[in-house]
Amino acid sequence: MLKIAVLVSGGGSNLQAIIDNQNNFDGEVVLVVSNKENAFGLQRAKDAGIDQCVISKNDNLLLETLQRYEVDLIVLAGYLAIITPIVINSYENKIINIHPSLLPSFGGHGAYGMRVHEMAFNRGVKVSGATVHFVNAEVDGGPIILQQACDISDCGSPEEIQKKVLEIEHQLLPSAVKLFCDK
C-alpha cells in the first residue's frame, strides 16, 4: 500500500475526492500538509482521521516531514505555492499536480487558482478542462499524465468555469493517483 501525502492551500475538495476514492487504489493518505493555517483542507483531514500539519515555507522542514512519514507519492491538490528544488530533487517523478486548465494553455508563473479561469474567460476560449502532470523544476511544465476537456462556451463568468472544471478535477485526480499506485 503506497503512502500518500496531499498538499493543500484552500478548500481541499480535491483532497476530499482522493479520500473518498481510497477504496479504488492501493494507497492511503497518511499526511495532509497546508501552507495556510486556515485552509479548510486541514479540517477535512481531521474529519477523516488523517494526520495534518501547517508548514508555511516548503523547505527542509517539509522534506523532513515527508521523509518521516515515508511518503511514496506527493499530490499537490490546490497547493498554491511553488515546490522548491530540495523537495523536487528528493521525489523525482513522485510528485503530481492538478492544474485547472488544459496545459500548456494558461499555465506557468502567475497562473493559479481563480486566475486561470479569469484568463480563460477573458480570452474567450470555448473549451477548458483539467490536467494532472508530474512536477519538475519548470512551473506546470512536467510530463502530462491525464487531461480531460469540457465545453465552457455557455459559461458566463470565471466562477462558472471553475465549477465545471472542478467537477472534472474530482474525477481526474483520483484516476491519476490510481494509475500511479498501479505503477
Which residues are identified as catalytic?
99
Q: Which is nearer to ligand GRF, 1 or 73 (CB)?
A: 73
Specify the residue, 64 or 162, whose C-beta has the smaller distance to ligand GRF.
162
For 135, residues 6+ apart whose C-beta sits below 8 A from its C-beta are 74, 76, 83, 88, 95, 96, 97, 142
Answer yes or no whether residue 113 interacts with ligand GRF by CB under 6 A.
yes
Of residues 9 through 38, those in contact with ligand GRF by CB under 6 A are: 10-14
Residue 107 interacts with ligand GRF (CB under 6 A)?
Answer: no
Task: Indicate whether 129 belongs to the interface with ligand GRF (CB under 6 A).
Answer: no
Answer yes or no whether residue 166 interacts with ligand GRF by CB under 6 A.
Answer: yes
Per CB under 6 A, the list member of 19, 98, 102, 161 interacting with ligand GRF is: 98
Which 77-96 residues touch ligand GRF, going by CB under 6 A? 77-78
106 in contact with ligand GRF (CB under 6 A) = no
State the DSSP H helix or E strand holding residue 46, giving kind and residue range, or none if neither: helix 40-47
> Sheet containing 95-99: which strands, arranged edge to edge?
51-54, 27-34, 2-8, 73-76, 95-99, 127-134, 144-151
C-beta nearest to ligand GRF: residue: 78
Cβ 77 vs Cβ 18: under 8 Å: yes
Report d(CA 181, CA 4) in Å as an integer. 10
Nine-digit cell string for 122: 477573458
**Minimum distance from CB of 171 to ligand GRF (Å)?**
13
Separation of alpha carbons 7 and 78, rounded Å: 8
Given the DSSP bridges, would you call strands 95-99 and 51-54 parallel, antiparallel or unpaired? unpaired
Out of 25, 112, 121, 180, name the contact with ligand GRF by CB under 6 A.
Answer: 112
27 - beta bridge partners?
2
Asked if residue 141 binds ligand GRF (CB under 6 A), the reply is: no
Minimum Å gap between C-beta 24 and ligand GRF is 18
What residue ranges bind ligand GRF (CB under 6 A)?
Answer: 8, 10-14, 77-78, 98-100, 112-113, 166, 169
